Structure 1
Amino acid sequence: MTDHHLTPMLRPRSIAVVGASQREGSAGHGMLAGLINCGFDGELHPVNPKYDTIQELACHATLRDLPGPVDLAVLGVNSTFLEQQLDDALAIGARSVTIFDTCYLDGESDRGLLGRLKAKAREASLPVCGGNGMGYLNMADRIPITIYDASDKMVPGGNVAFITHSGTVFSEIGLNDFRYRCNLIVSCGQEINGTVADYIDYALTMPSTKVIALFMEEARDPEGFMAALARAREADVPVVAMKVGASEKAKHFAKVHSDADAGNDHAYQAVFDRYGVMRVETMDEMANLLTLLSHDRPLARGGMGVVLDSGGEREMFVDQAEALGVPLAEITSETASRLRPHLHHALEPVNPLDAWGTAANYEDDFEGYFGAMAGDPGVGLVTFCGDFQWNPTTEKGYAKALVATRDRTDKPLAALINTPMSGMMTAGKALIDDGVMALCGTGEGLKAIRHAMAWRDRQTAPTSGSDAADPVVVARLRDLLSLIEAFDAEASKQLLAGFGFEPAFDPGSQVVKLTFSLIDDPQFGPLIALRTAGNYGKLLDEAVHALPGLDEDAAGRLIDRLQVSRLLCNSDGWPNAEHTAFARALSGFAVLAIELADLVSTFEVGPVHATDGRAVAAGIRVKTHKAV
């Protein structure tokens, strides 16, 4: 591991615990006990004027009484005493600090304490984890910095770095979900001086990190956040994110919770799209996806090979898989022949397979089904989909068949448990211990599998950057924007021509029309917005967003996210000439618009339609900064 500015915080060799206590059950006792029980072998200094010793360690009255500076000062005191304790930490040369309390004082309506703590820490370049957080758990190095004794949770061998703005998520999905193991969990709280971007960057220095998970309200350092995501992508480390605060009410609650500005959800989605972040909507989907991505067997090429013990649930499964676009493998005739001897005569050897006939030799039969699916070249994930509840004996038989099959194939195997409460805590945990993945809930499991397949396929897909803007064209457009006082018809015509659009004519009401815009997001800066216009726009009211710098392929994929894009395809489903013209024009607009972003606050072209392979625009609306 290379040295990092967060190393003193997250991998300290000397720790002072302010508020350490002898009283069992207290936070001060738990903080210290966790470190001792994990065998922390660095310097450990309890700080509390009430004691001479705590848990056989010499106790100091204040931080200023320590024999020297420490890597980490853990300030386990309430907000009334925080500012003085931070001053003491700075005075002794502490190299980092962790704060748990809310950083709010009664009677301070302007959050003055929080502002003062931020100012002092940032002026001193002092990394701070928190406040209003749960601290962190470094499982890789067995260092728990939190308000209770978490030593029993410090299981080695994890590979998921989990960074969260929620203390509950820190405790629940981070600590208690047995389907994957973490190497680092950070509750970053108000990010006094330590951002999500910083923690991502640190996690990427840990050799054990295989997946990064985010539960986030805000990227307080947008440029650093994008740079960290870019480094994760370059390192082939997938990032899974749950971004909350999309609705106006949730944005308000984010501000109350951690002083977070949840921002424009479209902008976050554009950032996630650019850097390949997999966005999830529920905690079950998050846990399922982390299970898939952290497993020692990545998905093989191909679709799902699915075995069920219910004909009715097969129909449910197929409906959901089709609706979500999760591919099911087309098994070969050889695979069908391998399935046939195990099947009841009334059942078909197909995928998904309704496999239950009778209880006679069912374990051997199911092992045969799983083995046949695993041997099919078109199957990338072998899955049993069931409930694991009504018959414990049968449940154990399915599990045995899955585990036996795992020993004879290098493909991953999973149990997709339709109703999570029915079997996750019994069969699910046993399967995980034996190397078979357990996924929770039909729909949430399928969404996670879709993400994991997209990541697998993206890993081998060629990438290309956008073309550079023609400097002559850029210079001409900048001259126009700086010289023109009023954007009359002639000026608009010149600008449209500079962007490669032909003069407009009325195409009628039944053609597809789009609007291209450049908007300025307060957090992430310039953003491309693509909106359906004309009659279809009135009907659909849809828009998608992207960061600037789109090549033609990326522009085409952005267009495909609009429902109206279905009208831009041939009968075989491939993009038609209009689609190609739109994509070419959008890519050109995105490249040029970013070159002009310093001159304009509003930039909108449209409605745009395509004809004979050409993009035609009805007009352009521009507001320069000098006109704002």
Structure 2
Amino acid sequence: MNSPMTALLRPKSIAVVGASPRPGSFGANLATAIQSLGYPGAVHLVNPRYDRIGTAPCHPEVSSIPGGVDCAAFAISDTLIVDAMEAAASAGVKGAVLFGRAYGETDAGRPRMEAVRAIARDAGMAICGANCMGFLNLPDRLQMSGMPFRDLPAPSGVALISHSGSSWSGLVGNRRQMGFDYAVSAGQELATGLADYIRHFLEQTDVRVIACVLETVRDPAAFIEAAELARSRGVPIIALKLGRTEASKTFAISHSGALSGSRAAYDAMFARLGVISVRSLDELLDTAELLAMTRPMTAPGIALGTDSGGERQLIVDLAADRGLPFATLQPQTLAAVGAHLDPGMEPSNPLDYWGDGGDVMAPVLTEMARDPGVGVVVMATNLPPDRNFSEMSAAAIRKVHQATDKPVVVMGNIATTLSPGIAAELRGRGIAVLMGTETGLSALHHLRHYHFGRQTAQPAQALPLPEASQTLLNAAPQDSLRSLDGFRLLQSVGIACAPFVDVRTPGDIAAFAARHGLPVALKIDDPAIAHKSDQGGVVLNIKTLAEACSALALLRKRHPDAPIIAQAMAEGVELILGMTTDPDFGPLVTLGFGGIFTEIFRDTTALVPPFSQAEALQALQSLKGYPLLTGARGREPVDLEALCALIARFSAVAAGTRGRIAELEINPVLAGPNGALAVDCITLRQAKAVTHD
């Protein structure tokens, strides 16, 4: 017996429920589409109003079909869908496609979506939809759609899962010879979700790349498991996440909360799982075509040649924006390339190979391909149709392809200029053709990073709070802790804090200064006031006890009921380190350059905790302000080892307090030559009642 996923996506027999003889109707189009590619399985028509439709018999219900069916496709109204699903489940159908929305309620007042979901769960049925465009299965020549395509290319080793029906139809209808082996319009995922499709493609097909257009991940735990399986099997997942802005997001009280949200959480989780994140449909297609190439990329270097000095400058600029390096060619390679160039032209990478008109394209690109550090060879050109030079360029890249076993790529600098005929011929030989400088370079970056840029995450352990901090949390009268208690919590897990003390009288300040010296800072410590500086609640660099008395009086006048703390002044580079709780993926750590302008400059990155010191260093290196930590403009370098240790320990606490603390922020962390200190903190307990494990 077929599994439910196989019954859905690779059925041996199909029932079209709601088949119609009326030309142009959805039921008629669906029945025609299913057989349009030469589907070899049995197709049964179901409609109690007809005995026959055309020359085919028509059954009154699914249960009357001899031998049963694997999959039922429903071309009926929402008002009929629950009864029809119950009948199909009773008949043993294991796969269903729901094109309608299943909107509204049953006569008993139950939401139809809920009723359909329950039927599928009880019957062990896989469902595509509701509110979907269907699916495509090219290996089995099955087009399950009421809005079919008349012409589709051959399979390319890529599968597609899309929450957007319009994007699904646009991608499937591409004119770049990329036939999706399987293309699923997943719709509302009433019973079968993203992870189910990914796992099926990994375990039951020969798919080499999985491309996804996502509105959301409805089952994060299942998605993580499926993505980890894909990574272990060497099948890249490409994801275009829709709805990346936080315009409708209710932010948390901390700066890091304002910097987190859907976009940061998905980016962080994709990075942890090795999922390739793209920003447009065109980038998705270029990346999928490149990653689906059957020739392996065995070295990290990219060699690129072009016939334009100006476009070479553009390519170098755009590559730098993406952090995409080109291979450093060996001296012998440069010499071999230079031997083919006109006098005065310098061998380089990227290379402008066009001089006084001699055709050196194939020789120079072949020499570049021979360099042991080169893993992929790229010709960047425009290939307009009806031009002799385009034919010369195509002939040259064919020769290069024949002369090497490395991947060979053409990158068109202007997508609308590329000759469709030449592009199709090159792709037919296994030469990828990328459709634009920006998307092409992004695809090359993704290819290189997937094979050579990913770091295997070092094991990192979550760190639960010690008993003393658990007691502190349980005793706290509010959801938000005072900074005083937040510092105590941080100290309990081994995070160094600038010395602090609760202040009630000037004598408390004097005693603190006797132990820790001057200058000091005074701060209000009211959990209800998150950004104390904005409310005139911080006085810095107090150098004498007289100044301290004046500052204390000023703060009490401004905030009469707020407790006050004194803290030793410290110097260093300001960073922000925060943990927020994403509703889908749980704890999320935000790291960046901090202070009062954090939300303005937004030089931050997000990571999924826990992570190691090495991963903390990589995250710091990804920030624009990283040179501030390493001695830029005569600064003394900070103690990076101590800083990364603090960040990694914070991440362990973020993971270990899941369900106990919703938000935790240190802003700033001060990093200096002699270590790193927490200087201010915000702690927000879980809003719900704290439970004990």
- In the superposition, the TM-score normalised over structure 1's length comes to 0.88
Residue 9 (structure 1) shift: 0.9
- Cα distance in 2 between the residues matched to 1:304 and 1:626: 51
Query: CA offsets, 1:420-452, max 9 Å, x none?
Result: 111152322221112211011111111111111
Query: CA offsets, 1:308-337, max 9 Å, x none?
Result: 112222222222222322112222332233
Q: Which amino acid in the other structure matches residue 473 of structure 2?
A: L
Q: Which amino acid in the other structure matches residue 441 of structure 1?
A: G
Query: Does the alignment pair 1:609 with 2:607?
Result: no
The 3 A distance-change label for structure 1 pair 627 and 60 is closer
Q: Which residue of 1 aligns with 2:8?
A: 9
Quick check: 2:20–2:27 contact (8 Å CA) kept in 1? Answer: yes
- Cα distance in 1 between the residues matched to 2:650 and 2:201: 37
Residue 526 (structure 1) shift: 2.2
Q: Which amino acid in the other structure matches residue 447 of structure 1?
A: S
Quick check: 2:576–2:591 contact (8 Å CA) kept in 1? Answer: yes
- Cα distance in 2 between the residues matched to 1:211 and 1:178: 16
The 3 A distance-change label for structure 1 pair 535 and 566 is farther
Q: How does 1:380-419 map to 2 (within 5 A)?
A: 380-389=375-384, 392-419=387-414
Quick check: 2:35–2:142 contact (8 Å CA) kept in 1? Answer: no
Query: CA offsets, 1:518-537, max 9 Å, x none?
Result: 32222222222335322553
Q: How does 1:78-97 map to 2 (within 5 A)?
A: 78-97=77-96
SS in 2 for 1:182: coil
Q: Which residue of 2 aligns with 1:235?
A: 233
Task: Point out where structure 1 has 5 or more consecutive residues left out of the alignment.
Answer: 253-262
Q: How does 1:69-468 map to 2 (within 5 A)?
A: 69-104=68-103, 112-150=111-149, 152-153=151-152, 155-156=154-155, 158-247=156-245, 264-360=262-358, 362=359, 365-389=360-384, 392-458=387-453, 461-467=455-461
The 3 A distance-change label for structure 1 pair 209 and 369 is same
Query: Does the alignment pair 1:594 with 2:655?
Result: yes
Quick check: 1:34–1:144 contact (8 Å CA) kept in 2? Answer: yes
Q: Which residue of 1 aligns with 2:19?
A: 20
Quick check: 1:98–1:135 contact (8 Å CA) kept in 2? Answer: yes
Residue 576 (structure 1) shift: 5.2
Residue 380 (structure 1) shift: 2.1
Which deviates more, 69-78 or 191-200?
A: 69-78
Q: Which residue of 2 aligns with 1:259?
A: none
The 3 A distance-change label for structure 1 pair 426 and 80 is same
Task: Point out where structure 2 has 5 or more consecutive residues left out of the alignment.
Answer: 251-260, 500-519, 521-567
- Cα distance in 1 between the residues matched to 2:491 and 2:104: 59
Residue 453 (structure 1) shift: 0.6
Residue 504 (structure 1) shift: 0.9
Q: Which amino acid in the other structure matches residue 313 of structure 1?
A: E
SS in 2 for 1:172: helix
- Cα distance in 1 between the residues matched to 2:362 and 2:408: 12
Q: Which of 628, 634, 651 is equivalent to 1:567?
A: 628
The 3 A distance-change label for structure 1 pair 423 and 619 is closer
The 3 A distance-change label for structure 1 pair 517 and 336 is closer
> Cα RMSD (Å) of the superposition?
3.2
SS in 1 for 2:231: helix
SS in 1 for 2:206: coil
Residue 24 (structure 1) shift: 4.7
Which deviates more, 484-493 or 112-121?
A: 484-493
Query: CA offsets, 1:5-33, max 9 Å, x none?
Result: 41221122221111223445443333223
Quick check: 1:492–1:620 contact (8 Å CA) kept in 2? Answer: yes
Q: Which residue of 2 aligns with 1:503?
A: 497
Quick check: 1:136–1:145 contact (8 Å CA) kept in 2? Answer: yes
- In the superposition, the TM-score normalised over structure 2's length comes to 0.80
Quick check: 1:129–1:189 contact (8 Å CA) kept in 2? Answer: yes
The 3 A distance-change label for structure 1 pair 227 and 426 is same
The 3 A distance-change label for structure 1 pair 596 and 241 is same
Q: Which residue of 1 aligns with 2:474?
A: 482
The 3 A distance-change label for structure 1 pair 50 and 34 is same
Which deviates more, 118-127 or 204-213?
A: 118-127
- Cα distance in 2 between the residues matched to 1:627 and 1:153: 53
Quick check: 2:462–2:655 contact (8 Å CA) kept in 1? Answer: no
Q: Which of 588, 592, 595 is equivalent to 1:527?
A: 588
State the percentage of identical aligned residues.
30
Which deviates more, 336-345 or 365-374?
A: 336-345
Which deviates more, 575-584 or 215-224?
A: 575-584
Query: Does the alignment pair 1:494 with 2:488?
Result: yes
- Cα distance in 1 between the residues matched to 2:103 and 2:462: 49
- Cα distance in 2 between the residues matched to 1:569 and 1:111: 63
Residue 508 (structure 1) shift: 6.7
The 3 A distance-change label for structure 1 pair 327 and 627 is closer
Quick check: 2:153–2:178 contact (8 Å CA) kept in 1? Answer: no
Quick check: 1:474–1:592 contact (8 Å CA) kept in 2? Answer: no
Q: Which residue of 2 aligns with 1:49?
A: 48
Counting matched residue pairs gives 609
Q: Which amino acid in the other structure matches residue 335 of structure 1?
A: T
Which deviates more, 501-510 or 4-13?
A: 501-510
Query: CA offsets, 1:288-324, max 9 Å, x none?
Result: 1111100011333143222211222222222222232
Which deviates more, 71-80 or 442-451?
A: 71-80
Q: Which amino acid in the other structure matches residue 169 of structure 2?
A: S
Which deviates more, 440-449 or 17-26?
A: 17-26
The 3 A distance-change label for structure 1 pair 302 and 198 is closer
Q: Which residue of 1 aligns with 2:536?
A: none
SS in 2 for 1:389: coil
